[in-house]
Amino acid sequence: MEFLVIFMIFVSFFFLCYLFRNKNGIPTNWPIVGMLFALLVNAHQVHDWLTELLEKLDMNFLFKGPWLANMKMFITLDPANVHHIMSKNFTNYPKGTKFNEMFDVFGDGIFNVDSDLWKLHRKMAHTFIGEPKFHRFLHDKVWEKVEKGLIPVLDHASKQGLVIDLQDLFYRFSLDTICTLVTGCDLGSLSIDWPHVPFANALDDAEEVILYRHFVPMSVWKFFRWLGVGNEKKYKKAWEILDDFVYKCITKKREEKKQESMKPQVGVDLLTLYMDESQSINVTSVSDKFLRDTILSFFIAGRDTTSTALSWFFYLLSKNPRVESKIRDELSTMETIHDYHKLIYVHGALCEALRLYPPVAFEQKASVESDVLPSGHQVDPNMQIIFNMYAMGRMKAIWGDDCYEFKPERWISERGNIRHEPSYKFLAFNAGPRTCLGKNMSFFQMKAVVATIIKNYTFQAVEGHQVVPDISLILRMKHGFMVKVYHSP
């Protein structure tokens, strides 16, 4: 009986989807359900669906969800609108309370707050990421991870003739690196035995549940949270694991500091700077909860983004041998691999990968007061505004007819320098006052990895393995990127 009911629900669902499909590809706003069916039918390929749709609709689309679900969203890729929302009228477009509630595991960290608390976080993060002591630490630890983590794993894989998942490799690399940079401790997830790391799994689970919260009305997921069942149960468990690890790091650091207070420090991690130097910027004391939210925000900022960018970069390279050979030429002109700042062509190729596969594919804002956008669209108070960076990188009106091609040359000026593209056009690192604070840090890491790998190894993608974007908060590959590793002769 139960089976019959489920079967009937499925049949009705697909029948409705068939009925509500739209021939010109533009969703119809049906009574009661709004455009929900169009979203559900295309959820598995949401980025490509939006790209096609927004190309047809001159880069602006008002999505209307079911009547009572409060799911009205204005999706825009128009650079003039982006500039207006992100910079010119910034104060009218905070992230909003809905965002804060959906991402609640990250507490009141920099990603999750607006106004004065955000200003405080921003000031502190900006100051400490810019500290010379931290730069020294960053430089040393990234090269150390490359030499003692990445190279041994790749050497082992090439000697044993193993097939490995490059995405997993880069996730482990980034996790260990960001953990060291933020807390001073190495998680040791990048090693030849590919250890199971509960903290990494907890981060993945939390992200997965936050994504699911985007697709169901808030009242529904809050009810499940209250019941403590399903995805919300998984979320709670993940939250406990994250808390446990991060609070242990804070306690350990406080203890270490008591013992080592007299030792001179050449390079230091961010947690040490938050504990030691907050007073220098007029912040009297930082609580453990403040540090916990800060650390977790850095983890999410630094792990998923850099590793996703590297994964897509190597995927694109496997499809474009011409670009790989130009990178080899550029690397052969370098006296030492540490001259990463001279890598103009590599820089262009990384920007190109970030344009086609931006790790943070969606960005959202909520309006405070009504407004009129440069495109002429009316914004009502408390309206959700969505940017899709994946679609934005594939708009002919922004990047030209060759926008689907992987062309690092696009980023290089006639004089051989990096061509600057305004952030409201190239939104991978966000724009305006909330621009990414780790941009330079991530370029350094990515160049260190790219230079080391391309100089020493070649990858052969496993034939027939499907590489497609997953439906996730970060634009991961659904099935990873499986390659065979060879040591270069």
Q: Which residue do the tokens 């694991």 mark?
A: 241
Segment interacting with ligand HEM (CB under 6 A) among 138-146, 368-376, 436-444, 472-480: 436-444
Q: How far is the CB of 459 from ligand HEM (least distance, A)?
A: 20
- Tell me: does residue 441 bind ligand HEM (CB under 6 A): yes
- Tell me the residue nearest to ligand HEM as measured from the CB: 438
On whether 436 is known to bind a ligand per the annotation, the reply is yes
* Ranges within 73-112 binding ligand HEM (CB under 6 A): 110-111
Residue 149 C-beta: closest distance to ligand HEM, Å: 17
432 neighbors 87 (Cβ within 8 angstroms): yes
Quick one: which segment of 285-293, 338-346, 425-433, 471-479 binds ligand HEM (CB under 6 A)? Answer: 425-433
- Which residue's CB is nearer to ligand HEM, number 85 or number 309? 309
Stretch that binds ligand HEM, among 33-41, 258-266, 322-330, 432-440 (CB under 6 A): 432-440
Near ligand HEM by CB under 6 A: residue from 295, 395, 437, 475: 437
Closer residue to ligand HEM, CB minimum distance, 224 or 340 = 340
Tell me which of 207, 232, 293, 363 binds ligand HEM, using CB under 6 A: 363
Q: Kindly tell me which residue out of 83, 172, 253, 434 binds ligand HEM, with binding defined by CB under 6 A.
A: 434
Nearer to ligand HEM, 359 or 393 (CB): 359
Neighbours of 113 (CB within 10 A): 22
Whose tokens are 């939250």? That residue is: 239
Residue closer to ligand HEM, measured from CB, 74 or 224: 74
Contact 51, 42 (CB under 8 A): no
CB contact set of 76 (below 8 Å; sequence gap of 6+): 59, 60, 61, 82, 85, 373, 375, 377, 385, 386, 387
Query: Does the footprint of ligand HEM cover residue 473 (CB under 6 A)?
Result: no
- Does 428 sit near ligand HEM (CB under 6 A)? yes
CB of 119 to ligand HEM, least distance (A): 9
**Can you give the three-state secondary structure of the chain, one letter per residue?**
CHHHHHHHHHHHHHHHHHHHCCCCCCCCCECCCECHHHHHHHHHHHHHHHHHHHHHCCCEEEEECCHHHCCEEEEECCHHHHHHHHHHCHHHCCCCHHHHHHCHHHCCCHHHCCHHHHHHHHHHHHHHHCCHHHHHHHHHHHHHHHHHHHHHHHHHHHHHCCEEEHHHHHHHHHHHHHHHHHHCCCCCCCCCCCCCCHHHHHHHHHHHHHHHHHHCCHHHHHHHHHHCCHHHHHHHHHHHHHHHHHHHHHHHHHHHHHHHCCCCCCCCCHHHHHHHCHHHHCCCCCCHHHHHHHHHHHHHHHHHHHHHHHHHHHHHHHHCHHHHHHHHHHHHCCCCCCCHHHCHHHHHHHHHHHHHCCCECEEEEECCCCEECCCCCEECCCCEEEEEHHHHCCCHHHHCCCCCCCCHHHHECCCCCECCCCCCCCHHHCCHHHCCCCHHHHHHHHHHHHHHHHHHEEEEECCCCCCCECCCCECCECCCCEEEEEECC
Binding mask 186-215 for ligand HEM (x = CB under 6 A): ------------------------------
- Out of 359, 393, 469, 480, point to the residue binding ligand HEM (CB under 6 A): 359
CB of 84 to ligand HEM, least distance (A): 17
Helix 166-183 with 439-456: angle, nearest 10 deg: 130
Nearer CB in complex with ligand HEM: 360/366: 360
Which listed residue (84, 442, 453, 469) binds ligand HEM by CB under 6 A?
442
State the number of binding residues for ligand HEM (CB under 6 A).
22
Taking the complex as a whole, the smallest distance from the CB of residue 190 to ligand HEM amounts, in Å, to 16
From the list 61-69, 151-159, 434-442, 469-477, the region that binds ligand HEM by CB under 6 A is: 434-442
Q: How far is the CB of 55 from ligand HEM (least distance, A)?
A: 22
Asked if 125 touches ligand HEM (CB under 6 A), the answer is yes
Tokens of 47: 């980025």
Q: Which of residues 303-332 bind ligand HEM (CB under 6 A)?
A: 305-306, 309
- 49 or 426, CB closer to ligand HEM? 426
Binding mask 265-304 for ligand HEM (x = CB under 6 A): ---------------------------------x--xx--
Question: Least separation, in Å, of the C-beta of 242 and ligand HEM?
Answer: 16
Residue ranges of the annotated binding site are 436
Residue numbers of the site for ligand HEM (CB under 6 A)? 110-111, 122, 125, 298, 301-302, 305-306, 309, 359-360, 363, 428-430, 434, 436-438, 441-442
Residue ranges of the annotated binding site for heme are 436
